[in-house]
């Protein structure tokens, strides 16, 4: 899954896991990366083994960290880390999902190994209004003018809406529409 930050990639993975009745095994850079040579590759292999043993969906967020384009790699460990991930992907008998905001940085071989490549886009105008109403429950319906203002906010994502809603709940946001 790829697209701009806040477009709902991670939330979609959680939703999908729920629909499939499976638990997620979430791995981030801090879970897999090691300062010792060869340890990152071991951590990657262990993540795949753990997901297979527990029959969980393996989810790597910000996957561009690990799928370094080998042609532009500056260090040997960048290549071996990518190689390990590619090899593990080929042999994994479960569901493996990655998210990135930086699809263009991924190694070409990674692109080929994913069965689905789904782009997440900012909200369409009609969805901006629906999302706005979802996050900001008002006692009266939005006026046609207010709906037009929200619909015309380009590049708005669900993450943007959530950030504003969270800031309002914590008291750091304004108290008006």
Give the separation between CA 37 and CA 3, rounded to whole angstroms.
Answer: 31
Position 59 scores a pLDDT of: 96
Position 70 scores a pLDDT of: 61
pLDDT beneath 70: ranges in the chain: 69-70, 72-74, 76-77, 137-139, 171-177
Task: Report the candidate in 76, 54, 55, 80 with the shortest Cα–Cα distance to residue 66.
Answer: 80
pLDDT in tens, 156-167: 888 887 887 777
Position 19 scores a pLDDT of: 97
Position 177 scores a pLDDT of: 44
Instruction: Concatenate the DSSP letters of all residues of the chain into one string.
Output: -EESTTSSHHHHHHHHHHHHT--EEEE-HHHH--SSTTHHHHHHHHHHHHHHHHTPEEEETTGGGT-B-GGG--SHHHHHHHHHHHHHHHH--S-EEE-BS-GGGB-HHHHHH-S---EE-PPPHHHHHHHHHHHS--SSPPPHHHHHHHHT-TT--HHHHHHHHHHHHTT-S-S--
Q: State the pTM of this model.
A: 0.78
């Amino acid at each position: 899954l790829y697209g701009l930050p806040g477009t709902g990639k991670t939330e979609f993975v959680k939703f999908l896991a729920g629909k499939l009745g499976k638990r997620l095994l979430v791995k981030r850079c801090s879970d897999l990366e090691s300062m010792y040579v060869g340890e990152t590759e071991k951590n990657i292999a262990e993540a795949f083994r753990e997901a297979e043993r527990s029959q969980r969906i393996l989810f790597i967020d910000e996957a561009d960290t690990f799928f370094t384009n080998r042609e532009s790699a500056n260090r040997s460990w960048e290549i071996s880390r990518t190689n390990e991930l590619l090899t593990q992907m080929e042999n994994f008998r479960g569901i493996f999902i990655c998210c990135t905001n930086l699809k263009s940085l991924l190694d070409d071989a990674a692109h080929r190994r994913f069965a689905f490549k789904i782009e997440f886009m900012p909200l369409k105008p009609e969805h901006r209004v629906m999302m706005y109403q979802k996050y900001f429950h008002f006692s009266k319906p939005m006026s046609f003018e207010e709906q037009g203002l929200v619909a015309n906010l380009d590049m708005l994502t669900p993450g943007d809406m959530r950030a504003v809603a969270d800031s309002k709940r914590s008291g750091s946001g304004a108290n008006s529409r």
